[in-house]
Amino acid sequence: MPHRLAAWYGSAVHGLTRDSSGKAGFGGRAIERLLEEARVSTPAYVYDLDGIRRETQALDEAFGDAPHIVAYAVKANSASTIVRAIGESGGGADVVSAGELDLALASGIVPNKIVMSGVAKGDDEIDRAIATGIRAIQLESVEEAERVAARAASARQTTGVSIRLNPSVEIDSHAHIATGHDEAKFGVAKSDVARAWAVVDAAAELRAVGVSTHVGSMLREPGPYVESARAVCDEAHARAAAEKPLEFVDFGGGFGVDYGGAPVEPPAVFARAALGLLRDQKLEHLTLVVEPGRSLVGAHGVLVARVIQAKKSAERRWLLLDAGMNDFIRPALYESRHRIEPLERAPGGKVWRVVGPVCESADDFGEHELGDDPPSAILIRDTGAYGFTMASEYNGRAVPAEVFVAGGRVVKVNPSPGRKAWVEARLRA
């Protein structure tokens, strides 16, 4: 492995564990000790790189000898240390901006394993994708196909494109993360697909290399995934019948994680279901692209926070943290529930309502069993995806620190910029 982090991977203990005294840890080390080693204060995200690598390798291996690309959805967690670890474990990248594209390239992802999605790519972003020679720009409308054709002609450069279909499939998920239904802004509607292909086929600078879809996120089993993938297979057959065969089919991502409420099938089950569909459709010669995000990183990160104080009023009991919705917005944005546990002992006992410091009623992480005596610190589980990457400085609160752990050692630290940096930036405004 070419990167220096590789030396710490191997026989490490994977996943969140607790020692005999109940202390939470990664890689056989207590998280409290890891934070001390990193010299950061809370709030802080802590990531288990060994677990992320193992998750990526397990999915990659599930495809066997079938041609495939595990295109990690960089938006889930854009830390270069994580993107690089996934790349070293066989992954590529699904990016949705020029910034993510440049990050993926700088983190060692090769262009041929990168696809770019997004409904409103700027001209500069299209130009960047064309210049870097990525596997494909995913076209999400007829109008975008025309724009990409014009930018490629202006650059006098040929670029690979795929059409992202809107499969018109409803899934059982939060409205904000369902992307494959008729009213979603994403993808080309079935009624517009012929016009989109006509634009592509008429443009000498565009190479039609694939067709894709993405039905939404937090899929618990592969049924809806396979249903939406059938629309992709239909288009692949139609292109082949027109003597315009494609190189790949992209079934998207959306594989869920178990946030503690219900079991979720692992990504390998989705991979096997996708391969089964390709075999049934006699399309197994095509490269299969999948776009996992949270399923690779979500379970392998925690957000650590200190308890500022307890608050009791009649029968109500609150724990007030130094971490809030600015640090972790999923509960406020998606009404999601994440397990919250004491850092230094196992969960259980009396229930406390856990809230943050932000001046919003939505800054509420729900009720959790934290014991008779409030802990001095807690961890919010399964925050490796859509945590730091969606954090903000709302209420003048600096974004949290990030600590990366491999083999029980801190291998990288991204410190919080701190309150002073926020004040100085706003004074310049």
Residues known to be catalytic: 359
Is residue 109 within 8 A of residue 87, CB to CB? The reply is: yes
Residue type, 404: F
Is residue 382 within 8 A of residue 338, CB to CB? The reply is: yes
Is residue 286 within 8 A of residue 209, CB to CB? The reply is: no
Q: What burial class does residue 1 get, using C-beta atoms within 10 Å of its C-beta: 0-12 exposed, 13-18 middle, 19+ buried? A: exposed
- Residue 403 belongs to what H/E stretch? strand 401-406
Residue type, 23: K
Closest CA to 43 of 318, 360, 326: 326
Q: What is the dihedral of CA 6, 7, 11, 13, to 10 degrees?
A: -80
Q: What burial class does residue 40 get, using C-beta atoms within 10 Å of its C-beta: 0-12 exposed, 13-18 middle, 19+ buried? A: buried
- Residue 405 belongs to what H/E stretch? strand 401-406
Closest CA to 145 of 128, 163, 122: 163
Is residue 234 within 8 A of residue 189, CB to CB? The reply is: no
The pair phi, psi for residue 191, each rounded to 5°, is: -70, -15
The dihedral built from the CA positions of residue 313, 318, 320 and 326, taken in this order, carries a sign that is negative
- Residue 248 belongs to what H/E stretch? strand 248-252
Closest CA to 336 of 300, 382, 304: 382
